[in-house]
A and B are shown apart, each in its own frame.
Chain A
Amino acid sequence: GNSVTQMEGPVTLSEEAFLTINCTYTATGYPSLFWYVQYPGEGLQLLLKATKADDKGSNKGFEATYRKETTSFHLEKGSVQVSDSAVYFCALSGMDSNYQLIWGAGTKLIIKP
């Protein structure tokens, strides 16, 4: 069945550091891929998405590229800020899961000033 694997956290970085959060998936066909972010005390919100292979999603300085050959959708940001501290969830949606979202466990990101 479908599954999503994210790197375990917490990930702790200094402000202005480069960020990568790894996400790999298992699915048949061509699922859509998502990154959601959850700030402290809030619900999740969509950060970016990609719906076909080689698509790049981007938002708020974050980027992720849909790599079918490596079944990956790694999240990157060139220079993180304290305000980026949050929990980041990778997810996929596809035919196998009846179009329900399959979620990774989440990666907590802590940015120190």
Chain B
Amino acid sequence: NAGVTQTPKFQVLKTGQSMTLQCAQDMNHEYMSWYRQDPGMGLRLIHYSVGAGITDQGEVPNGYNVSRSTTEDFPLRLLSAAPSQTSVYFCASRFDRSNTGELFFGEGSRLTVL
């Protein structure tokens, strides 16, 4: 009963380093997404995917890359980390792209960039 699994849970990076946040879901969901959560700002969509091989930008895509080679996995890559990317990151998935479906969230990954 795994649901949405994110790794790592915590990470500290130095400015300019790169890293990948992993996200996997075992519910055969078409739709997957990455959000960042910052105090007082709610959740902001970084990138999303409506199926394997299809990705699109959200509200705040700069500095991040994604790919969707399988239905299960949706990694988020930080190309050259900056202090402004210090945040809590959530991966979320949904059965399909409809606007009424429930989003299932991972437990989050807390990233600090020094």
Contact = CB atoms under 8 A, between A and B. Distances in A.
Interface of A: 4, 31-32, 36, 41-46, 49, 51, 89, 93-95, 99-101, 103-106
Contacts of A95: 99
A99 B107 contact: no
B30 to A, nearest CB: 12
Contact of A104 (B42, B97, B99): B42
A101 B107 CA distance: 19
B106 A43 contact: yes
Nearest to B97: A99
A89 B90 CA distance: 14
B58 interface: yes
Interface of B: 4, 33, 40-45, 48, 58, 90, 92, 97-100, 102-108
Contacts of A4: 42
Nearest to B56: A98
A88 to B, nearest CB: 11
A101 B33 CA distance: 11
21 contacts: A32-B99, A43-B106, A43-B107, A43-B108, A44-B103, A45-B105, A46-B102, A49-B100, A93-B99, A95-B99, A99-B98, A99-B99, A100-B33, A100-B45, A101-B45, A103-B42, A103-B43, A103-B44, A104-B42, A105-B41, A105-B42
B52 to A, nearest CB: 19
Contacts of A42: 107-108
B105 A43 contact: yes
Nearest to B58: A100
A21 to B, nearest CB: 14
A41 B9 CA distance: 11
Nearest to A31: B99
A36 B107 CA distance: 14
